[in-house]
Amino acid sequence: MHSSSSSGSRLCLRSLFSSLPVKILVLSTALVPFHAINASKTPAHQFDSVVNSNKLTVVAVKSPTTVFEEGGHLHGFGYDLVRNYAKNMNVKLDFKTVSDDATALKMVAQGKANMAMTTSSISSIEARKLTSFSATCGDGSSLSSKGLNANLNWVFKSANDPLSQTASNFVCNSKQSGAINQLASFYNQNVVEEHFRDNIHQDLSQRLPIYKASFQRSAQQYGLDWHLLAAIGYQESYLKPNSVSPTGVRGLMMLTSSTAKAMGVNNRTDPVQSIEGGAKYYDKMLSRFEHIPMPDRNWYALVAYNMGPGAVQKIQNSIRNQGKDPDNWVNLYSYLEHNKASNGRYRQALQYVTRIRSYLEQIKSSELVNI
């Protein structure tokens, strides 16, 4: 379900704030807490509703650009961006998915949602007398170059509502800081090249049925999503239980000798033991970062599965020393990306977590889920 706003015009920072000095524009959202902006005396403003209820209700249609559901948790470029906006406002996010954009727009028009994320045409948005702006602050190439829909918009009921104005500021500040490009890079739909996708699908079709029951059993034991465990297994060994790396890591889940021993695995080439050991270890990694909300916790745990939790915590310390939030996935991803040229482990970790995310989505969005 998605919607837009009253004037029917596209919201643009340049037109909204052209009369204000640049310094005021840059500092406005940084110096004035959202809750301190008393959105006007009119209770009809969605900003008032969000502040009073301490909840931002957002509606969207599931798509590779907006949101993807994994094991009861949501992730995706659009979802992560709006989640960060809600966090910036210091309110809870109530994220709803609907079957089509028309329903989303209708919900915003009726006041049943504070905003929508949609790829609807501008004419469709304006026909409902709603307002919108680009979810990339006009930098559509940051999405299109990564296989995402460059026409993603945030839609509001009114351009005069402080909610749409602060949201526009947030998006454009995110563009300037590089956060939008980092999110787009992580959710890159081209991370697996087109000519490899048929091979991956064939591999999974042949091997996943053999180990599906083991993935499901171990996932149930530790409260995990079996599709995610399968994606980890495919990244680690292509689901080949006799795989061995040059460093001696072995088995379907590619456990080191010490990790296997700690997880109670006696035979690393036994796929049942390997899957159970990998699930147990991944669950331990999740526990190490239990203070981080989903879906970020999944990505932190995957990097830790690949590099070790100590390495992740060292990176977090470096991020903290930069004055940034060490528990925000965008910041961890950005640190790895920025330093990958000088550290091969960082490059490997980036590829590792990004490919698992891609394999997970491929498994869950195809007939493989019913194998």
How does strand 92-98 pair with strand 55-61? parallel
d(CA 279, CA 295): 17
Asked if residues 131 and 11 have their Cβ atoms less than 8 Å apart, the reply is yes
How does strand 131-134 pair with strand 153-156? antiparallel
**DSSP structure string for 107-170:** HHHTTSSSEEEE---HHHHHHTT-EEEETTTT-THHHHTTTS-TT-EEEES-TTSHHHHHHHHH
Query: Which residue, chain included where needed, has tokens 């659009």?
Result: 78
117, 138, 137, 130: which is closest to 160 by C-alpha?
A: 130
Residue type for 90, please?
N
Q: Which two tokens stand for residue 41?
A: 């005396």
Query: Which residue, chain included where needed, has tokens 């060292």?
Result: 314
Q: Give me the active site residues, please.
A: 236
d(CA 130, CA 112): 14
